[in-house]
A and B are shown apart, each in its own frame.
Chain A
Amino acid sequence: MVDAPQPDAAATARFRAVMLPHLDAAYGFARWLTRDPVQAQDVAQEAMLRALKYFHAFRGEEARPWLLRIVRNTWTDLRTQKGANDQPLDVVEDRAAEGPDPEASALAHDRRRQVAAALAALPAESREILVLREIEDLSYKHIASVLDLPVGTVMSRLARAREKLAVELRGRLGRSVHGLPDV
């Protein structure tokens, strides 16, 4: 086995310039994967260390999908190590609704809480793909590289995830939300 080159000062400086700007995205993705702010920090920090370790293999492709893929793999590994001790759903949904919200309108604020809780309640497979598409705004091609899936699977999985989210949202928001008509 060939040892990976040790990151040195020059590699670290380049890493800082290329990858560190995407720390918010890495943390945000980890936040939705773990559904827990403390675990998200652990995952993001470990992922950044791994990214630096593998940085010699980074060939100048788009940095954000490259980093998000490492975040997801880190999360998968840490979850396997610790065993699947996911938080109970009500805690998860409350957590998802926490966080800064500049919206002053109580109505809009409440709607966001419900949307966040609905997304948090989805199974990981649906949650991650919706976050990559709608929050990280990645193309199918980049989602495919983050999740290590064929592009065709990305499309069908995304359609299924949207159906699931629609069901969750209808349950939470009722008919009042415009644009989400009843079935």
Chain B
Amino acid sequence: MDCPTCEAMVDAYIDGELSATESGAFETALAACPECRRRLDEAKAMSGLLRELPADPAPDLLRAGIERDLRAIAARPRERMRWMAMAASLIVAVSVGWVGGSITGREGTGEEAYVSTYLRVASSDHPVDVASTDRHTVKPWFAGRLDYSPVVHDLTSAGFPLEGGRVDVVGGRKVSVLVYRHNQHRVALSLWPGSGGDTTPAVRERDGFTLAEWRHGGFEMRAVSDVAPAEMTAFAKALDRATGEER
């Protein structure tokens, strides 16, 4: 081994980064090379000096500051939870309005309540109370739980398989919620009897969610999802078609 090679290996040698073979070769070369021995001794001595420097532990003030940060962050409700709490408080507001009879029928009213219904569906491990793709299982399940019988259709052929149903309280009233799946997304459809003729689904986006509102076959429909507006329109059309075929 010539000296430049040997010299380049001094650091790797004392840092324990050489393989056993390389170390052996280096030690052999070292015997014939006083300059490299000198470098090695010096590097070892410096390493020893640096390693005996007393370590300065983290000051108590710093540790306390970090503890405070961590506690504050751990205590902070998750964004979604905070959102749901906000939505829950809005349900109360909506239910008060419902009693006064001033909320129903007004465009855009109570949509927070449906978003909150959707969030309960999307964030829950048990999004539905009755899990079934069979409408003949889901529809009877609502009997006795509601004072009306919702229309239930499986929309698998349109790309929206039925997952099941649940009952949610919206505006102080129990309503049926049907949950449909679309790829990795879910659509929460709240529906209850309404008066008046059919309307075209009004689809719009809000806070990253897609909302649809329409009336069909004597039912008020409110759908919320995180699908794209075009998919929401497709969903509403598929539902109307299925309802129309039944009549």
Contact = CB atoms under 8 A, between A and B. Distances in A.
A88 interface: no
B54 A112 contact: yes
Given A9-B74, A140-B17, A181-B42, A159 B11 contact: yes
A101 B54 contact: yes
Please list the 7 inter-chain residue pairs (A to B) with the smallest Cβ-Cβ separation, ordered nearest first: A179-B45, A134-B50, A27-B58, A12-B74, A9-B74, A41-B62, A159-B11
A9 B12 CA distance: 43
Interface of B: 8, 10-12, 15, 17, 38, 41-59, 61-63, 65-66, 69-70, 73-76, 78-79
Contacts of B43: 162
A121 interface: no
A66 B10 CA distance: 28
A109 to B, nearest CB: 10
Interface of A: 6-9, 12-13, 15-16, 20, 23-24, 26-28, 31, 37, 41, 44-45, 48-49, 52, 99-103, 111-112, 115-116, 119, 130, 133-135, 139-140, 155, 158-159, 162, 165-166, 169, 177-181
Nearest to A140: B17
A44 B58 contact: yes
Given A23-B63, A27-B57, A155-B11, A8 B78 contact: yes
Given A115-B53, A158-B11, A23 B45 contact: no
A181 B61 contact: no
21 contacts: A6-B79, A23-B58, A23-B63, A24-B55, A27-B57, A27-B59, A28-B55, A28-B57, A28-B58, A41-B61, A99-B56, A112-B53, A115-B50, A119-B50, A135-B50, A140-B12, A155-B8, A159-B8, A166-B42, A166-B46, A177-B49
